[in-house]
Structure 1
Amino acid sequence: MPRVRLLPWLLILALVGCGTSPTREDMSYHVRPVSVSGDFAGAPGVYAFIERMRRHGYPPERTAAILSGARLQPSIIDLMDQQSPRQATGPSGAWTRYRAKFLSEDSINNGVAFWRRNEVALERAAARYGVPPEYIVAIIGVETRYGGFTGKTRILDALATLAFAYPRRAEYFAGELEQFLVMAKEENLDPFALRGSFAGAMGLGQFMPSSFREHAVDHDGDGQRDLWNPSDAIGSVANYFRHHGWQPGEPVAVPAQVRSVASAHAMKTGFKTRYGLNELASHGITPMRPLGRAEAVSLLELDAQGGYEYWLGLKNFDVITRYNQSTYYAMAVHQLAQAIRSRKGGLDGGRVSSTW
């Protein structure tokens, strides 16, 4: 019976196609196997992305349906453009203002409270991954106020907007959108339901989808990696640090004594710099505390109110910058971690951290 029903249609198609049959190249150019509706219909890169998802087991119809349900968010593009760094022409106290956003009394106290609520998970992560609890807590504090604000933007909308309507970084965000859909499939999650930052970061630790797939762990053993769950977020941040080379028991950053601020200011600074101690000493720059096993350090300049501050960054400082490539960000995490450790140690009579 099926063969009888199909035969007339085959004959009609053969007759219609006589003499005007398009070439294979024409077919591939003019005919799309699926269509995308909505805000991203016809957007550059959409059909290439649909084809790209085939290798992950996504049928074109499924990918097209997902993209058809995504919504363009122009405000995200505005926010991304605002991220461009502004060059300071001289001392402005920028570090002091930045630091104040994260090291308020409330932030320190809330960090201590988060630590107490999640003490078991933090100590287990410290034992397994070698990362002190205070640094895990500080990352979560800086990123989401200890889980108080993980973002309200649909991840799908954020990543689709940046992949198909933000040419400057389209390649990167198309890759993250790809990782997001693979993650949703692997974890059996609804891609329309997940919410996070305007750049597509998720959970208490604000992992991008690629970081989720590579570093997220099931720290509480319930069979699912859930970065909105404090225990899994704690284990995942610690695993991320370990993967990037965290050195247990080693310092993070130490203040530097500078003989001449003008001389230090003339040097190249930032977390990507590398100086030997003898070279720094020749410029009148010496560490104010022991450096552990470090043989090379970065020279960090902080534009503080009242004048420049100088610090020496070690391997663990560099690890923090893998989370966010900013000297100020990493230093805020470091100093918040130390403040939380000190406050909790004072209140609980606990040990003093061996890292600085």
Structure 2
Amino acid sequence: MLLALSMMTAVPAWAEHPGQAQLVREVAQDTGKDPAALNALLDGARRQQSILDAISRPAEAKPWSEYRGIFLTPARIDAGIAFYRQHRALLEKIGAQYGVAPEYIVAILGVETFYGRNTGSYKVLDALVTLGLYYPPRATFFRGELKTLLELPDNHLAGPIDTLTGSYAGAQGWGQFMPGSIRDFAVDEDGDGRIDLQNSLPDIVASVANYFTKHGWVTGGPVAARAQPDAAAKALTVKDSTPQWPVEQLEAWGYAPLQHLNPGESSSLQILQGAQGSEYWFTFQNFYVITRYNRSPMYAMAVNQLAQAIAEGVNQPESAAQ
């Protein structure tokens, strides 16, 4: 009976794990943090099966025809338009400061957390420990993010580490930044001495804009444009969204743009499975930048189309939009 009860008791995910001592040593050495406090944090983390279940069925496994419907809904578009209008001064100030169109900042927040309404309910520490120990395909990445989380200064987080909540992958705040992104791209825009991606809208908006800028966003540059292949179009193998051919080369291979484009603009070609069949798209540097947030071309296209819908709505008179 005692054995059965002990087997039912939740065991700390890091208990007796050989990597804990090394991780604590490294973090303590790099930051001067107390090893006992670090051990106590890790001992409090729990393996969550729901996290492993969630990462095994990402939305990006769906075809574009279904994936698009998750994010391009009237409710999400209308909420994005309302959010932009409510915070227009801040958004346009940050957009001008970083050279990023404000509607793309808003669209990131819309896709990631429905404009801050759903930032995730998993404990960040549980998520990173669970995936770092029990998800072999990306264990190295998540252990690295765990180490970064433990090394971040207290003033780079919305609160104590053991109170932070986020996505099943350990992303935090309205813009869903991983610890490494907080370290490298998050900014204290409101000047209060703390980076708070959960409660400070200036920090949230500026951090997304800075992320785009640091990854090579081109101010005023194109994102994506529809293409129409002819019957003899050259079959292309495209590994990612990196621009690699000028538009005129893709045209020569049989892909006609459905709008005017700079013939020399460096581009790639994406094929998405839409509701009416295959969709062909020229994609550009700014599309590639969005995939630095999430590598899926469908994600980048959802952000792009949501941004366009928000911009269109914002530019309408409010009486016409109602």
TM value normalised by structure 1? 0.80
Aligned counterparts of 2:278 and 2:36: Cα–Cα separation in 1: 57
**Structure 1, residues 9-29: CA drift from partner, whole Å, max 9, x if none?**
xxxxxxxxxxxxxxxxxxxxx
Question: How far has the Cα of 1:343 moved from its partner?
Answer: 0.8
**Structure 1, residues 309-356: CA drift from partner, whole Å, max 9, x if none?**
11100111111111000111000100100000001101359xxxxxxx
Match of residue 248 from structure 1: 219
Higher alpha-carbon Rg: 1
Per the alignment, do residues 259 and 165 of structure 1 end up closer, same or farther by CA in structure 2, a change over 3 Å counting?
A: same
Kindly indicate whether residue 35 of structure 2 is the aligned counterpart of residue 64 of structure 1: no
Kindly indicate whether residue 316 of structure 2 is the aligned counterpart of residue 342 of structure 1: no
Kindly indicate whether residue 174 of structure 2 is the aligned counterpart of residue 199 of structure 1: no
Match of residue 53 from structure 2: 78
Deviation larger for 235-244 or 74-83: 74-83
The secondary structure found in structure 1 opposite 2:208 is helix
Contact 2:155–2:194 (CA under 8 A) maintained in structure 1? no
- State the AA in 1 paired with 2:49: P
Question: How far has the Cα of 1:294 moved from its partner?
Answer: 4.9
Contact 1:126–1:133 (CA under 8 A) maintained in structure 2? yes
Match of residue 296 from structure 1: 266
Aligned counterparts of 2:91 and 2:178: Cα–Cα separation in 1: 22
Match of residue 201 from structure 2: 230
Contact 1:251–1:292 (CA under 8 A) maintained in structure 2? no
Cα root mean square deviation, aligned? 2.2
Question: How far has the Cα of 1:263 moved from its partner?
Answer: 3.7
Aligned equivalent of 1:111, options 62, 80, 90: 80
The unaligned stretches of length 5 or more in structure 2 are 1-10
Matches within 5 A, 1:174-185: 174-185=143-154
**Structure 1, residues 193-243: CA drift from partner, whole Å, max 9, x if none?**
111001000000000011011111122233221111222111100000000
Contact 2:217–2:286 (CA under 8 A) maintained in structure 1? yes
Aligned equivalent of 1:268, options 233, 237, 246: 237
Match of residue 123 from structure 2: 154
- State the AA in 1 paired with 2:12: G
Question: How far has the Cα of 1:184 moved from its partner?
Answer: 4.8
Per the alignment, do residues 167 and 94 of structure 1 end up closer, same or farther by CA in structure 2, a change over 3 Å counting?
A: closer
Aligned equivalent of 1:43, options 12, 17, 31: 17
Match of residue 171 from structure 1: 140
Aligned counterparts of 2:263 and 2:142: Cα–Cα separation in 1: 38
Deviation larger for 276-285 or 332-341: 276-285
Question: How far has the Cα of 1:255 moved from its partner?
Answer: 1.1
Kindly indicate whether residue 289 of structure 2 is the aligned counterpart of residue 319 of structure 1: yes
Aligned counterparts of 1:220 and 1:121: Cα–Cα separation in 2: 11
**Structure 1, residues 155-210: CA drift from partner, whole Å, max 9, x if none?**
11111111222232221111111111222534473111111001000000000011
Q: How many residues align?
A: 306
Aligned equivalent of 1:130, options 85, 94, 99: 99
Question: How far has the Cα of 1:41 moved from its partner?
Answer: 0.9
Contact 1:277–1:286 (CA under 8 A) maintained in structure 2? no
Aligned equivalent of 1:277, options 247, 271, 279: 247
Q: Percent identity over the alignment?
A: 44
Aligned counterparts of 2:153 and 2:47: Cα–Cα separation in 1: 20
Kindly indicate whether residue 261 of structure 2 is the aligned counterpart of residue 287 of structure 1: no
Question: How far has the Cα of 1:111 moved from its partner?
Answer: 0.1
TM value normalised by structure 2? 0.88
Aligned counterparts of 1:291 and 1:244: Cα–Cα separation in 2: 23
